[in-house]
Homo-oligomer: A and B are copies of this chain.
Amino acid sequence: MNSPMHISLPGLKRLPKYHALVKNLVLDGHKNVSSTTIAKHLNLEPIIIRKDLEGIQLIGKPKIGYNANDLLNIIATFMGWNRMDELILVGCGDLGSALLRYNGFKERGFKIIAGFDINQTIIGTEINDCPIFSLEKLPDLCKRLHLKIGILTVPAEHAQETAELMIESGILGIWNFSPTALDVPEYIRVQREDLLTSLTILRKEFI
């Protein structure tokens, strides 16, 4: 009855786990999966899986469970893994070039089409088939291709000014890896990625 699509934010973050698990179960020959099965593998309560799946409009059958392929497809679609969005990455240092080398973007529907930096020795080169341009080229390229999302991996002391340049260039969403709080207009979305926070949470359980 709660028909308008609604899933909690924690629920949304659980979806990839369900997908990963069910993908394996399908390989093992399962056609259907129950919330009980998923719950057992992931150490969750069955009801929470039912609620999450209800939230993305996946309908199960009593006694049978959920169709495994439907589940995989609906999650993939809901997460946007079936579309392809183009991104830019600004700051090709340690972390930036590591991300450029990382091949996980493609299967999640993202393609980094250009990297930008101010370091002359890497401008003009490629990392993992992605060309590195001078930072000056950023506004033109973003505007021309109507790019909306950028990855920010510059050193902390340049994060703010670089973010401003990205915003002037039409970027609306910034995935911010620098350990800095960005001061940006209301309409700009920023996701700060604090890579080590989850490792820290893990550690807190032992000390």
Where the two chains meet, the residues of A that have a C-beta atom closer than 8 Å to any C-beta of B are 9, 12-13, 16-17, 20-21, 24, 41-42, 79-80, 83, 85, 94-95, 98-99, 101-105, 108-110, 148-149, 151, 172-173, 175, 179-181, 183, 189, 191-207
User: Which chain B residue has the least Cβ–Cβ distance from A103?
Assistant: B94
The 5 closest A-B pairs by CB, nearest first: A98-B98, A21-B181, A108-B196, A191-B202, A173-B202
Q: In the complex, what distance in Å separates the CA atom of A181 from the CA atom of B23?
A: 10
CB-based contact A41/B80 at 8 Å: no
Residues in B with CB closer than 8 Å to A149 are 199, 202-203, 206
Q: In the complex, what distance in Å separates the CA atom of A151 from the CA atom of B98?
A: 16
Identify 27 residue pairs between A and B in the complex whose beta-carbon atoms are under 8 Å apart, listed by A's number: A9-B201, A12-B197, A12-B201, A13-B194, A16-B179, A16-B194, A16-B197, A17-B194, A80-B207, A83-B207, A85-B203, A94-B101, A94-B103, A95-B104, A98-B99, A104-B179, A104-B195, A105-B196, A108-B199, A109-B200, A110-B203, A148-B206, A149-B206, A151-B199, A175-B199, A191-B202, A193-B198
Number of this chain's copies in the assembly equals 2
Residues in B with CB closer than 8 Å to A16 are 179, 194, 197
CB-based contact A110/B199 at 8 Å: yes
